[in-house]
Structures are given as C-alpha cells and as structure tokens.
A and B are shown apart, each in its own frame.
Chain A
Amino acid sequence: MKILVTVKEVSTVEDEFEIEGTSIAEQYLGADLNEWDDYAVEEAVQLQEAGIADEVVTVTIGPEDCEQTIRQALAKGADRAVRVWDDSLEGVDLLDVGAKTEILRAVVEAEDPDLVLTGVQSGDDSWGATGVSLAEELGFEWAAVVNHLEHDFEDDRAAVRRELEGGVEELTEIELPAALTIQTGINEPRYASLRGIRQAQRKELDVQTLADLGVDESAIEGDVTLTDMYEPESESDVTVWEGSAEETAAELGELLREKGVAP
C-alpha cells in the first residue's frame, strides 16, 4: 500500500503583532509543521513500520523556505517528498479550497496512492475542508476528523472512528482508495531522531511546477478574495490585574474567597 500525506508549513504568530493590509507583518511570523499533519505523518509511518504501507510520500504546496519543515516529516520516517511551487503561487494571499484541491489532485493522480492522509485543518487559515474536497475530486471515499484507524484493512476497507462533538465517536467503514482527515490524539507523534534527521538530508525532495503537473494557472486564482484583516473586537470587559506574581495571585485569591469557593 502506498500512502500520500499532505504536509503544510503553517505560519505561527507572536504574542504581539501588527497587521499590514491583509496579512500579518512578516517579522511577527514564524513557521512550523501543521500540528494536525504531524499526526497524519505519524499514522502513515506507523503503517509502514507495521508492514502495511510500502511507501510514504509527502506532498507540500509551498516555497523553498518550507523545505526545513518537509525535512522534519522525512526525518520522522516518510520516504520522499514532493513540493509544488512556482512563481504564479508567489503572490497569492490566500489559496482557497478549490485551488488546493486542483493542485493536490494532480499530485495524487501522478502518485496513485491507496490512501491519502491529511490533517483535519491547518493551524493558520483553518479551512478544514481540503481533504474531503480532494477525495470527492478524485472519486475516493473519505472520512473527516478521524481519531482512530484500524491497521488491518480487511477486504480493502478502512475501519475508522470519527470524533464527533460532546465525547461521542462514530464507527465507520469506508472503501479504499480513501482520504482521511486526521485528528490530533490519534497517536503520539515522535520527535525526529538524530539519525532520522541525518537520513532525511539524503531523501528525495522533488519540486514540481504547475506546468509539470499539468495544472492550469487559472486554477489558483481561486474564488475567495481576502479583503480585510483586523484584530477581533473584544466584547469582554475583562479586569486585568497588574503587578508582581505575588500581587496578582493575591487579587485572584481575594476573588476566590469572595466567591466562597476557596478556604
């Protein structure tokens, strides 16, 4: 079985930041492997270690800068990586679900995996929709918000648990090939070992342009235009206690006594 895992480098934001136009000013941004994708990579690598997957390939849409993040996934055990980028993607503010679906479809068709694993959502723009949209585009089956996957794949079916709201899980079986969107908590993502990090440097990281993939540039124009970004207006009238830790702790202690909830 071959598994394709979507791996996104997400932007992280510092505590204090400024907005310039429709984005956060560069100097307040950091980069990290998307939390949900980390669990997806781990699940794929565990399937490989169990002898079920023969190959784990990652796919990333992103500029050269994100190769460090891709190497993280390779260091954790993915076999090789595909990165999609070209100049036309450079100036795009927001790559919507439709555009991502188009690009990833082309990669899936080229790689022909049995299973696609994506994170439930990405930590920055949090669409939470790309995995399911991609599955539909490919004619694959799918399951969203998967927090358990049986590793036996009996009769070419995947038995999964979907985590619903309020502590209820749904047990579902789906036919392969399938795309699953992976929820945190499904496993315990490993830290890359030093050996893994060394090996990752030698693994294949293939860069593809839209033209290489046969994707028309118009696909990335997208249907969603970002028109404004601002800090949400706070509705609360929060009382902020100031001072040393001892002083603020004393204020909180006072409140708890007043409320009669502490001795």
Chain B
Amino acid sequence: MTNVLAVADHRRGELRDVSYELITAGRQLADETGGELHVAVISGTVDEFADKLNREGVDAVHTVDYGEEFNHDVYAQVLTQLYDEHAPQYVVAPNSVNGLDYAPAVANALNLPIVTDTVDLESDGDTLVATREMYGGKVETTTELEGTVVATIRGGEWPAAEGTGDAAIEAFDAEIDEDAVGSTVTGFEEVGGGDVDISEADVLVSVGRGIEEEENLEIIRDLADALDATVSSSRPIVDSGWLPKNRQVGQSGKVVTPDVYIAIGISGAVQHVAGMKGSDTIVAINTDPNAPIMDIADYAIHDDLFDVVPALTEEFQ
C-alpha cells in the first residue's frame, strides 16, 4: 500500500534540498498511517536523482525520464497517473515556486483538497492536521482535512533525510499527451549581478518597508558609511526601484551570511528569512515587538528606526 507520494524538486541538474526534507515529512506521515513512502522524480537525469533519493525510509522511487527540465503540464499528467496507479492517501510536494506551479493543478484535477505552505503535518490515518501561518507569520493556525489530501511543505521546516535506503527504483511508464502540453520552458537567466556582492559582506545594514520613502534611504546609507558596512534590503525596496536587484536578501534574492545583519524596518516574512537566517548575529530594529523577525533575532530594539538609526550613526562619527 502506498500511503504517501512525495514529489522531488530539482533544477538544472541538481536536486534541491527540500527533496530530502520531503522524505522526512513523507516518512513521518507514512509511519502515522502505517504505509509506504514512495518518491516520484520527473524529468532530468532521473536515474542519478533516484540513487540520491534512495535514503532511509523510502520504499520506492518512481522515475519518469521525460525532458530535461521542469514542465508543469508534464508534472501534472505524470502525477495524476501515478496517483491513479498507486492511490496514495497523501501527496506531498514542496512549497517551492515550481511546487506552486503544479500542485494546485494536480489537486484540482484529482478533485482533492490542497493545503499549502505547511510547517507541520500530523495524521491519525483519517484526519490530517496541517499547521500553517497566516498574516505574514503573525499567527499560526491548525487546520484539519479528512481523507486524501495534497499538501505542500515549507522548505527548512523538516530535517533532511539521511542514510541509504533499499528502495525499489522503478521506471514509471507515463503516457504524456503532447497536445495537452501548452507550456514550454525556453531558458533560464540569472539576475541580480552587478557592482556589489552582498553575500560577501561582513556587516549588512538591511532596510525594509519601514523606511517608507526613497529619500529616507539616506539615513541608512549614512549608517552604512559610518560602519563601513554594505546596504541590503527586503523585497519591497527593490520592487519600488529604490535599490537594484542585487541588494535583495531572500528566497528570490541572495542568501547572505554576514557576521552581523541589522534588519531595519523589516518584518521577517518567511521568504526574507530564507535569505538571512544563517547570519551570525541578527539585530532587529522594529516598532512591532511581535514582528516575526523577533523570533530569529539575537538582539532587538523595539523602537522607531527614524530615532534609532541616526543615533547609532552618531555613535560612530
């Protein structure tokens, strides 16, 4: 019996970390429901991927050798066929940009409920209790779903599976209806190069939407000058065109690991935190004592940045 089908994530020849986290989440659900954990890996060098995915707790890996890169139409077709053949109770996929490009379609095609961006999953065999955040991380919720469910998991919430397993590695003979493939990936492009590499900086003075106006960035630059630090930012600052893309910290920006990261007027949304949680020391300056950034900060000042930042600059002049 297949109880859980986990879908691996890969890009440009590399499995992504969340694939191993999916194995941990999937194994746990399989244990709770007393069944097997199957992993699907679709497109790319699937045999190579299958060897890597054969970690402790995996019962079977289904490989689908079709095309080089991710294509959501292919994923959707393969997954509905795998579902029909193996009838898993839970399909778990990553809450990655690609996961969100096929998982909702698969759920809808199979007429199954979907719960996204989960940070914890628990099942008693009938009811799935999924924990997720709302309001940008200000609250956490538990939600319940009966029966068969598609769930996407947030990266970094489950430990990566390790060890080697003795999974059966099976090529799955999917029938791809080419006419139903209406999307074509034509290439990739790296963005965000340029003059400064924020991932090399020892100290980052990082600014978020709390700064309000472009002109106000001046006080951030003054501070960075006084500290001989580099300026980085959260996404809205880049979206507004106030700083170039190569200054953006986060999931879709750069991953940084400075000695000190000073988050100024940044709430600490999960996509931002993904880029800076590896910083040695995190300092948050934010008027909101409940902002999610406080959960990962080492030091915090719950005060107005327009008072604190100039005062700090003065310290060093």
Contact = CB atoms under 8 A, between A and B. Distances in A.
Interface residues of A, number: 85
Given A168-B189, A172-B184, A259-B281, A241 B139 contact: no
B104 A164 contact: no
A12 B267 CA distance: 13
B239 to A, nearest CB: 4
Interface string B89-133: 000000111101111110111000111110000000000010001
B150 to A, nearest CB: 9
Contacts of B101: 132, 142-145, 162
Interface string A158-189: 00011111111111111100100100110010
Interface string B184-203: 11111111100000000011
A230 interface: yes
A219 interface: no
Given A167-B253, A238-B299, A262 B143 contact: no
A13 B138 contact: yes
B174 to A, nearest CB: 18
Contacts of A125: 134
Contact of B135 (A11, A131, A170, A188): A11
Nearest to A235: B295
Contacts of B186: 171-173
Interface string A124-152: 11111111110111000111110000000
B228 interface: yes
B301 A15 contact: no
A94 interface: yes
Contacts of A165: 96-97, 251-252
Contacts of A17: 138, 290
Nearest to B192: A167
Nearest to B183: A174
A232 B270 CA distance: 13
A48 interface: no
A227 B185 contact: no
Contacts of A234: 294-295
A123 B271 CA distance: 13
Contacts of B70: 170
Given A167-B190, A261-B203, A225 B141 contact: no
B113 A98 contact: yes
Contacts of A172: 183-186
Interface stretch (A84-92, A190-198, A207-215, A246-254): A246-254
A228 interface: yes
Interface stretch (B21-29, B58-66, B157-165, B303-311): B303-311
B136 interface: yes
Task: Pick the most buried of B73, B100, B235: most chain A CB atoms within 10 A of its CB.
Answer: B100
A13 B135 contact: yes
A225 B187 CA distance: 40
Contact of B117 (A126, A170, A223): A126
A123 to B, nearest CB: 6
B176 interface: no
A58 interface: no
A256 B260 contact: yes
A178 B143 CA distance: 31
B97 A145 contact: yes
A169 B301 contact: no
Nearest to A94: B143
Contacts of B140: 229-232
Contacts of A161: 189
A16 interface: yes
A61 to B, nearest CB: 17
Contact of B141 (A13, A141, A168, A228): A228
Contact of A249 (B129, B138, B292, B311): B311
Nearest to B187: A171
B300 A241 contact: yes
Nearest to B106: A136
B11 A168 contact: yes
Contacts of A185: 235, 238-239
Given A24-B139, A124-B134, A133-B114, A252 B184 contact: no
Name the 3 nearest CB pairs between A and B, nearest first.
Answer: A223-B113, A245-B307, A249-B311
28 contacts: A96-B114, A97-B116, A127-B116, A142-B72, A142-B101, A142-B105, A143-B183, A144-B72, A164-B188, A165-B252, A166-B252, A167-B192, A170-B187, A173-B183, A178-B182, A184-B239, A188-B240, A223-B146, A223-B149, A226-B141, A230-B141, A238-B295, A239-B298, A252-B262, A259-B260, A261-B227, A262-B227, A262-B316
Interface of B: 11, 70, 72-73, 76, 95-98, 100-105, 107-109, 113-117, 129, 133-146, 149, 182-192, 202-203, 227-229, 235-236, 238-241, 245, 251-255, 259-260, 262, 281, 283-284, 287-292, 294-304, 307-308, 311-312, 314-316
Given A145-B97, A261-B259, A262-B228, 16 more contacts: A17-B290, A98-B114, A132-B105, A133-B108, A162-B97, A166-B252, A168-B11, A170-B188, A175-B183, A223-B149, A227-B143, A228-B141, A236-B296, A238-B297, A248-B311, A249-B311
